[in-house]
Structure 1
């Protein structure tokens, strides 16, 4: 982990999937269920997990070798969304240490929030199902603003809703687009190496201000209160 302390931080913002929650089991199950309904053999979760950060596109690529240019992609994508909606809180859990991290931030008087590319139709049921999110100062979904990450607007909207300057915020994420969005927004950025990362990810090349290999390491980046 980088030995750096971020000054003047008043809030920590997080990506959702792969950073705060492990949603791979439900996302994989939704895609794999589509395979089973077509008489195809099941694939192990280990094949789906590295591609969770790519959402439906990643899941359909693993399940059917289908990319966004495929003639049936939009039909399969909506079918995937419907099946995912039916199971999105069955196996999804916060990563180990996340509950402790959130509690520690609150004890320090820090606000925290979520900025995800996940659509609100999925974000809202998940965050409502987990009591941890009751203390979140803001939750920005992929369709809250006209833009999604790596555009900085979702992060800037989160800062506005908390009445904070971007420079008073840290953004933690497990994908290069998270770091790009955070940097463009003028926030401190932290790469979560414990997340999904994606196949062949070169985390060091993302340009994050710091990297962590577990959620609680985020606390070590904050100046003592």
Structure 2
């Protein structure tokens, strides 16, 4: 794996899943459990993906219940996650470092703890930390704000087109972890 050149930046924000670690989440089971939460609220969710279910859960007033269900799957996957090569860069980058993830904050904390990365992270923002989620710019900007870093001095490293779009919307430099997008 070729690591991205980060020498021009004073701070780095990393995506988590697919960038620093691979969470071992059974996403099909997570989607089934999320659909059950929506069905209990009278919403038919069979044709929705998880991200649409989260939006609909807001509308149906069951976001907290759906988040608890999804977060439980993510935490379980965090306990058995695999550390990826870029995690070694995080431990040695020598600059303020943050994590901005589409996963639940508590699952991110578990994965960081499991792989002994927590003390290398100055700020963490998960899907449930702020009111919006990637690709909205607010989670990334919040991460940098917690690090007290100017966005122009930072780079966001991720593995997906969604991560790239987040960086573009926040007007922050972006690098793919390993060559290119794995989805939006």
TM-score normalized by structure 2? Answer: 0.70
- Spell out the pairing of 1:7-26 with structure 2 (5 A cutoff): 7=8, 9-23=9-23, 26=24
Match of 2:48 in 1: 68
Change in Cα spacing, 1:195 to 1:144, as seen in structure 2 (3 Å) is farther
Select 2:92's aligned residue among 88, 98, 104: 104
Local SS of the residue matching 1:67: coil
Correspondence 1:88 to 2:77: yes
Q: Distance in 2 between matches of 1:79 and 1:13?
A: 26
How far apart in 2 are the matches of 1:132 and 1:27?
20
RMSD: 3.6
C-alpha distance in structure 2 between counterparts of 1:154 and 1:86, whole Å = 20
Paired position in structure 1 for 2:42: none
Cα gap change, 1:82 to 1:123, in 2 (>3 Å): closer
Structure 1 CA distance, aligned partners of 2:131 and 2:82? 29
SS state of the match for residue 88, structure 1? helix
TM-fit CA distance, 1:119:
1.6
Contact kept? 2:11, 2:153, Cα under 8 Å? yes
How far residue 11 of structure 1 moved from its aligned partner, in angstroms, is 0.6
Flag the 1:146–1:194 CA change in 2: closer, same or farther, 3 A.
same
1:86 offset after TM fit, Å?
6.4
How many residues align? The count is: 161
Residue 159 of structure 2 is matched in structure 1 by 174
Tell me how far 1:172 sits from its aligned partner.
0.7
Could you say if the C-alpha distance between residues 119 and 79 of structure 1 is closer, same or farther in structure 2, counting changes exceeding 3 Å?
closer
Gaps of 5+ in 1: 35-55, 61-65, 202-225
Structure 2: gaps spanning 5 or more residues = 35-45
Q: Secondary structure at the match of 1:131?
A: coil
Structure 1 consecutive aligned stretches of length 4 or more whose deviation exceeds 3 Å: 3-7, 56-60, 77-80, 193-196
Given that residues 57 and 67 in structure 1 are in contact (C-alpha distance below 8 angstroms), is that contact kept between their aligned partners in structure 2? no
1:124-170: per-residue Cα shift (whole Å, max 9, x none)?
Answer: 32223331122111111112111111111111111111111101110
- Which of 162, 165, 171 in structure 1 is aligned with 2:150? 165
Moved more, 145-154 or 86-95: 86-95
Aligned pairs for 1:74-223 (under 5 A) are 81=70, 84=73, 87-95=76-84, 97-106=85-94, 110-193=95-178, 197-198=182-183
